[in-house]
Amino acid sequence: MKYHRDKIRENYNTFVSEFASLLNDIRSAREVNREVTPEMLLKTFEVVLRGVKLLNQWNAQIIEQNAWKFANPVTEEQFLASGGKVSKSKEYEKALKFNYSPEEMYVLVDAIGMIKGYFLFSFLSYFLIKFLLNFKILNDKYINKTKKDWVD
């Protein structure tokens, strides 16, 4: 994770500013009762899709790191030296609790914080973009299909 942190942070900052800009455009269009254009629908769909892909990528990197930690737990000596005690959760503690350096833990918490921040930001704007996403999907699925049928 620590090798991906800078890229995750860069993607997060870029995406959040792009998403905020999109939300401002949508709000200003709603305030002046401007008609929804196909370009606005496409831009909304692409930005949201990009966000979902980034979220998936970040989540996968966290899962990969945890899988590696489970596959490579600390040794018994390191476990006991770190203050580990023999209990039911010994294997878990060897794999995760005592297997992260302070830097790795900081990066992990930072990445999880970005994921949660993105989720909260998108959740709070859900009702603003829901209509546009639904309209885009229905437009692609039914209206464009009907146009093709007329042409053929």
Q: Across the chain, how many H-helices and E-strands are there?
A: 7, 0
Which residue range forms the structural domain that includes residue 59? 5-147
Rg (CA), the chain: 23
pLDDT in tens, 81-133: 888 788 787 888 888 888 888 899 999 999 999 999 988 888 888 888 887 88
CA 28 – CA 25 distance, rounded (Å)? 5
Whole-structure pTM value: 0.77
Rounded-to-integer distance, Cα 8 and Cα 114, Å? 9
Residue with tokens 């980034």: 54
Q: Residue 152 has what pLDDT?
A: 47
First to last CA, the chain: 52
Position 84 in a domain: yes
Give the DSSP letter of residue 104: H
DSSP 87: S
Averaged pLDDT, 55-74: 91
**CB–CB of 129/48 below 8 Å?**
yes
Asked whether residue 31 carries a pLDDT value surpassing 90, the answer given is no
Residue 144 has pLDDT above 70, yes or no: no
The answer to the question of residue 37 being in a domain is: yes
Q: Is residue 102 in a domain?
A: yes
The domain total for the chain is 1
Would you say residue 141 lies in a domain? yes
Amino acid, single-letter form, for residue 34: R
| Mean of pLDDT values over 33-43 | 83
Query: How many residues in the chain?
Result: 152
CA 18 vs CA 12, 50, 54, 102: distances in Å: 10, 10, 13, 32
Q: Please indicate, yes or no, if residue 152 is contained in any of the structural domains.
A: no
Residue 76 is assigned to a structural domain of this protein: yes
Report which DSSP code applies to 33.
T
